[in-house]
Structures are given as structure tokens and as C-alpha cells.
């Protein structure tokens, strides 16, 4: 599996965590100042972060599954080649 494939899920995890932290900070700041708009923006950012993090999980899972499928196909091809000899 290429490093860039692994990095795709990691990038989503990192961005997601950043958005969640930013969102929580906006919500806290909005709560302290009574700015409901800022609180709402914070909630939106936090939710966006959770979605990105989940997307990273999906990408990681798909990469693992793809790797397993490639391994099984390779093993099957090796067995078939050995059977012919």
C-alpha cells in the first residue's frame, strides 16, 4: 500500500481533530460572550470535524480491506502457478 494511500485517512483524522477543537473553542468563547452565532458556528465546526474523522476511519478501513483482497489474490495466483508446475 502506498504511503499516500495511508496518509489520506490520516489527513482526514488530523483535519477532523483540528475542526473539532476549533469548534469547541468557538462554542466556549460564544458561551462566555453570549454570542449565539459564534456558538452555532462552533457546533458546525465540531460536527464537520467529526464527519472528517469518520471519513478517515472509512478510508482506513477500505485501505485495509483492499490490502487483504490483494494479498488473497496474490496467494491464489501463487497456488495456481504451483499447481501448474
pLDDT of 19-36, one tens digit each?
999 999 999 999 999 999
Enter the pTM of the model: 0.75
Report the half-sphere exposure of 36 (CA within 13 A, side-chain side).
0
What's the half-sphere exposure (Cβ side, CA atoms, 13 Å) at 22?
A: 13
pLDDT confidence bin for 4, thresholds 50/70/90: low
10 Å CB burial of residue 8 (0-12, 13-18, 19+) is: middle
- Apex 74 CA angle, 55 and 1, nearest 5: 35
pLDDT, one tens digit per residue, over 41-75 is 999 999 999 999 999 999 999 999 999 999 999 99
Amino acid at each position: 500500500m502506498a504511503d499516500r494511500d495511508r496518509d489520506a485517512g490520516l489527513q482526514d483524522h488530523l483535519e477532523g481533530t483540528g475542526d473539532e477543537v476549533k469548534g469547541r473553542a468557538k462554542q466556549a468563547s460564544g458561551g462566555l460572550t453570549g454570542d449565539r452565532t459564534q456558538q452555532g458556528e462552533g457546533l458546525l465546526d465540531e460536527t464537520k470535524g467529526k464527519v472528517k474523522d469518520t471519513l478517515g476511519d472509512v478510508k482506513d478501513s477500505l485501505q485495509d480491506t483492499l490490502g487483504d483482497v490483494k494479498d488473497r489474490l496474490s496467494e491464489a495466483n501463487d497456488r495456481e502457478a504451483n499447481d501448474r508446475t
